[in-house]
Amino acid sequence: MRAALQSVFANIDRQAWLRFFGALLGLSVAFGAALLSTAARRNGKVMDSVLLASLALLIAGFVGLTTVPYLFRRVTLTGMRQAFQYDVTKEGVGYFVLLLIIGVAALNTGNNLLFIVVAAMMAAILVSGVASAALLRGLDLGVSLPARIFARRGVMARLSLENSRRGMPAFSVSVAPPKPLKPQRVLRWRRSIFAFPARRPVERQWVRWPDWSIEFAAPEPPDPGRGRVFDTSVYFPYIPSRGTAIAEVELNFPRRGRYVQEGFGIATRFPFSFLVKTRPVALRHSILVYPSVEPTEDFFEVLPMITGEFEAFVRGRGYDLYRIREYMPEDSARHVDWKATAKSGSLKVREFTREDERKLRIVFDNPAPGVVDEKAYEGAVALAASLAWHFAAEATDLSFAAPGYAGSPDIYDFLACLALIEPAAQPSVLEKLQVTDDYNVILTARPRGSIPTRLWNSSYFIFLEPSPADGRIP
């Protein structure tokens, strides 16, 4: 019993109850002052009556300004957010107009039959509201989204509606994004100064007292996501009692970034289509859309050159001599063994035991805002993602580098970094980039003259075209 009581008291909103009882006490004092004011007026004590009436009015006003808005925000607005939303249909408008006409005719003629018709029509509205509310309250929504989503590539999501009511199937139900609500402004007190005369300079004012004033706080800013996950409605014609209906929905996101779904709405016109009644469902979903990895013209243009440079670099990165063989047209001149060539009279090249080691590092050097226009920037992000996706499918030891990137070799961590990256004024990642056995593919908007010389022999550079407003020559 004691544990049960402790559980009950733990769930009580003490602050709200304290304000509530404080308001009752204040209103009781105001009521007593008002009664005393009436008695003083009847006894001819005008000044006492005025003072007591003013005191009652001040106490009532103070309670109204401090307690009522607080309780209104905690109770009434919560109930309003959980309430149904209504939209009148064309059929409903016609029905209400017809009801009004018959009602006016019944009042003018006193015909009992018309009164019966009006009563039946009003009863139909009541039955429709009760039936649709019971139907919507018995439905539970489930959403299943893919683990990894790429921009401009269609994926399938699953919506499920479970009908928990026994013996009551559901008809004509739709799942859609909820209608956006206007942000609620918050009423709060803040410290201020009471000055008289108010329009004079501070040094010429007669009175300056500490005071309190009421202000409306700005609403919370919206989530910085690019948009909602679901933008279309999904229709379920029939959901059996104690059953579940499932619908597959194709999603296609045009851009990378984070998409946020703050909630859903379960709507129905059942049974008479007078109103579209919607029950908001507080089901929040946030997904990360990776950049597109679909091959583009830029990808097909740079891939052969990167592959050729990478293969030439790999062949020359060994340390232990494996053999000396005849020179082939695709061999680099730096691999020629001149002593063996002089002895044999034909060109000879060296091969090394680490010829199969393929280490590649993809570097995205994030430019500052305004250096590259938005289209070129998004193309560079997509190109970096496409190259990473392409070489991850081959026998290549991949690593990645970007501003703020932790250095994880997992390609999905790098794609998540590219999904959220935006132009930023920060030090170039090339300044801290160390020369290793990796071959670097570097996407940068820096001028060629500012590239560290230590990177030229082991890197392939993709220079981003500057914005016309920037004026630099790449």
Arithmetic mean of pLDDT, 384-388: 90
Instruction: Identify the weakest region by mean pLDDT among 88-92, 363-367, 433-437.
Output: 433-437
Q: Are 441 and 463 in contact (CB under 8 A)?
A: no
Instruction: Identify the weakest region by mean pLDDT among 9-18, 163-172, 258-267.
Output: 9-18
What pLDDT is attached to residue 236?
Answer: 92
Q: Are 241 and 163 in contact (CB under 8 A)?
A: yes
Q: What is the DSSP pairing of strand 257-261 with strand 170-176?
A: unpaired
Domain 85-182+223-290 belongs to what topology?
A: Immunoglobulin-like (2.60.40)
Task: Say how far residue 455 (Cα) sits from the centre of its chain.
Answer: 39
Arithmetic mean of pLDDT, 77-102: 77
Is residue 92 predicted with pLDDT exceeding 70?
yes
Is residue 230 predicted with pLDDT exceeding 60?
yes
Residue 14 pLDDT grade (very low, low, confident, very high; cuts 50, 70, 90) = low
More confident of the two residues 83 and 397: 397
Is residue 171 predicted with pLDDT exceeding 70?
yes
Name the amino acid, one letter, at 191. Answer: R
Buried (b) or exposed (e) across 333-363, using 16+ Cβ within 10 A?
Answer: eebebeeeeeeeeeebbbebeeeeebbbbbb
What pLDDT is attached to residue 85?
Answer: 81
Please state the pTM of the whole predicted model.
0.63
Instruction: Identify the weakest region by mean pLDDT among 216-230, 326-340, 365-379, 398-412.
Output: 216-230
What pLDDT is attached to residue 186?
Answer: 57
What pLDDT is attached to residue 29?
Answer: 85
Q: What is the pLDDT of residues 288-311, one digit of tens each?
A: 999 998 888 888 788 888 877 777
Arithmetic mean of pLDDT, 217-238: 70
Nearest Cα neighbor of 414 from 429, 404, 424, 423 is 404
Arithmetic mean of pLDDT, 411-436: 86
Is residue 1 predicted with pLDDT exceeding 60?
no
Q: What is the DSSP pairing of strand 359-364 with strand 439-444?
A: parallel
Q: Are 459 and 359 in contact (CB under 8 A)?
A: no
Length of the chain, please? 474
Is residue 234 predicted with pLDDT exceeding 70?
yes
What pLDDT is attached to residue 51?
Answer: 84
Nearest Cα neighbor of 360 from 305, 316, 400, 420 is 400
Arithmetic mean of pLDDT, 369-375: 86
Q: What is the DSSP pairing of strand 359-364 with strand 397-401?
A: parallel
Per DSSP, the residues of 431-459 read: GSPPP-SSEEEEEE-S-GGGS-GGGGGGE
What pLDDT is attached to residue 81?
Answer: 46
Domain coordinates in residue numbering, the chain: 2-82, 85-182+223-290, 186-217, 292-315+357-474, 318-356
Q: What is the DSSP pairing of strand 186-196 with strand 149-150?
A: unpaired
Is residue 184 predicted with pLDDT exceeding 80?
no
